[in-house]
Amino acid sequence: MQTFMRGRVLLVAGLLSGTALALVHTAAAAEDVEATTVIVTGERAGYNPKASVTATKTYTSLSNVPQAVTVIGEKQINDQAIQSMAEAVRYVPGFGATQGEGNRDGLVFRGNSSTADLFVDGMRDDVQYYRDTYNIERIEAFKGPNAMIFGRGSPGGLINRVTKVADFTETGRLNLQAGSYDKKRVTVDMGRNLAAEASFRVTGLWEDSGSYRDGVNYQRQGINPTLAFRAGDETLITLGYEFYKDERIADRGIPSYSVASGGTRHPVETDASTFFGNPSLSPTWSEVNAFQAFVEHRFKTGVTLRNRFRLANYDKFYQNVFPGNVNAAGTTVGISAYNNLTKRENVFNQTDLVFSARTGGIAHTLLAGVEIGRQETDNLRKTGYFTLPDGACLNGSTTTNCIVSLSAPTLSVPMTFTQSASDAKNTGVNTFTAVYVQDQIVFNDQWQAVAGIRFDRFEAEVTNLRATTPETRDLSSQDDLISPRLGLIYKPAENLSLYASYGVTYLPRSGEQLASLSVSNQALDPEEFHNYEIGAKWDVNPALSFTAAAYRLNRGNSAVTDPNDSTKLVLLPGDAQRMEGVELSLAGQVTSAWQVIAGYAWQDARTVQAVGSTPAGRILPQTPDNSFSLWNRYDFTPKLGAALGVLYRDKSYASISNDVTLDSYTRVDGALYYTLSQKLLLQLNVENLFDIDYYPNAHSDSNITPGAPRSAYVTLSVKY
What's the pLDDT band for 6 if we cut at 50, 70, 90?
Answer: very low
Number of alpha helices (DSSP H) and beta strands (DSSP E) in the chain: 6, 40
The confidence score (pLDDT) of residue 23 equals 31
| One-letter amino acid of 696 | P
The confidence score (pLDDT) of residue 325 equals 96
**Least confident span in 41-45, 210-214, 479-483, 501-505:** 41-45
Rounded average pLDDT over 666-684: 97
Each residue's pLDDT tens digit, 218-227: 999 999 999 9
What angle (nearest 5°) sits at the alpha carbon of residue 399, between those of residues 396 and 401? 60
Beta pairing, strands 95-97 & 697-700? unpaired
pLDDT exceeds cutoff 80 at 34: no
503 vs 720: CA distance, rounded Å: 46
Helix (H) or strand (E) holding 486: strand 474-493
The confidence score (pLDDT) of residue 46 equals 85
The confidence score (pLDDT) of residue 565 equals 83
Rg over CA atoms, the chain: 26
The confidence score (pLDDT) of residue 2 equals 42
Helix (H) or strand (E) holding 9: helix 2-22
In percent, the amount of the chain with pLDDT more than 70 equals: 94
663 vs 672: CA distance, rounded Å: 30
pLDDT exceeds cutoff 60 at 45: no
182: left (phi over 0), alpha (psi -120 to 50) or beta: left
Each residue's pLDDT tens digit, 184-235: 999 999 999 999 999 999 999 999 999 999 999 999 999 999 999 999 989 9
The confidence score (pLDDT) of residue 42 equals 34
Find all residues with CB under 8 Å of 312, minimum gap 6, and list them: 125, 288, 289, 290, 291, 345, 346
572 vs 555: CA distance, rounded Å: 11
Range of the domain at 278: 2-719
Quick one: three-class SS letters along 324-390? EEECCCCCEEEEEEEEEEEEEEEEEEEEEEEEEEEECCEEEEEEEEEEEEEEEEEEEEEEEEECCCC
pLDDT exceeds cutoff 70 at 459: yes
468 vs 624: CA distance, rounded Å: 45
Each residue's pLDDT tens digit, 550-590: 999 999 999 988 888 877 889 998 999 999 999 999 999 99
545 vs 605: CA distance, rounded Å: 27
Residue 60 CB neighbours (<10 A): 18
**Least confident span in 21-35, 150-164, 306-320, 364-378:** 21-35
Find all residues with CB under 8 Å of 9, minimum gap 6, and list them: none
601 vs 165: CA distance, rounded Å: 34
pLDDT exceeds cutoff 70 at 268: yes
Number of domains in the chain: 1
Q: Is 720 exposed, middle or buried (0-12, 13-18, 19+ CB in 10 A)?
A: exposed
> Among positive and negative, which fits the CA dihedral 686, 691, 694, 699?
positive
Find all residues with CB under 8 Å of 197, minimum gap 6, and list them: 229, 230
In contact, 455 and 466? CB cutoff 8 Å: no
DSSP string, 657-679: T--BEE--EEEEEEEEEEEEETT
- For the chain, first and last CA: distance in Å? 47
In contact, 113 and 622? CB cutoff 8 Å: yes
Cα 8 to Cα 290, 304, 311, 602: the distances in Å are 13, 27, 9, 47
The confidence score (pLDDT) of residue 614 equals 87
542 vs 292: CA distance, rounded Å: 35
Closest to 659 in 3D by CA, of 708, 605, 711, 704: 704
Phi and psi at residue 250, to the nearest 5°: -75, 115
Closest to 682 in 3D by CA, of 671, 697, 668, 669: 671
pLDDT exceeds cutoff 50 at 29: no
Residue 524 CB neighbours (<10 A): 19
In contact, 269 and 256? CB cutoff 8 Å: no
Q: How many residues can be counted in the chain? A: 720
Q: Is 481 exposed, middle or buried (0-12, 13-18, 19+ CB in 10 A)?
A: buried
Closest to 3 in 3D by CA, of 388, 328, 377: 377
CA atoms within 13 A on the CB side of 388: 14
546 vs 270: CA distance, rounded Å: 42
What angle (nearest 5°) sits at the alpha carbon of residue 130, between those of residues 149 and 374? 45
What angle (nearest 5°) sits at the alpha carbon of residue 272, between those of residues 269 and 278? 95
In contact, 98 and 113? CB cutoff 8 Å: yes
The confidence score (pLDDT) of residue 562 equals 83
CATH number for the domain including 470? 2.40.170.20
Q: What pTM did the predictor assign?
A: 0.93
Phi and psi at residue 280, to the nearest 5°: -70, -20
Rounded average pLDDT over 372-378: 98
Rounded average pLDDT over 253-277: 97
In contact, 65 and 666? CB cutoff 8 Å: no
3-state percent helix, strand, coil for the chain, nearest multiple of 5: 10, 55, 35
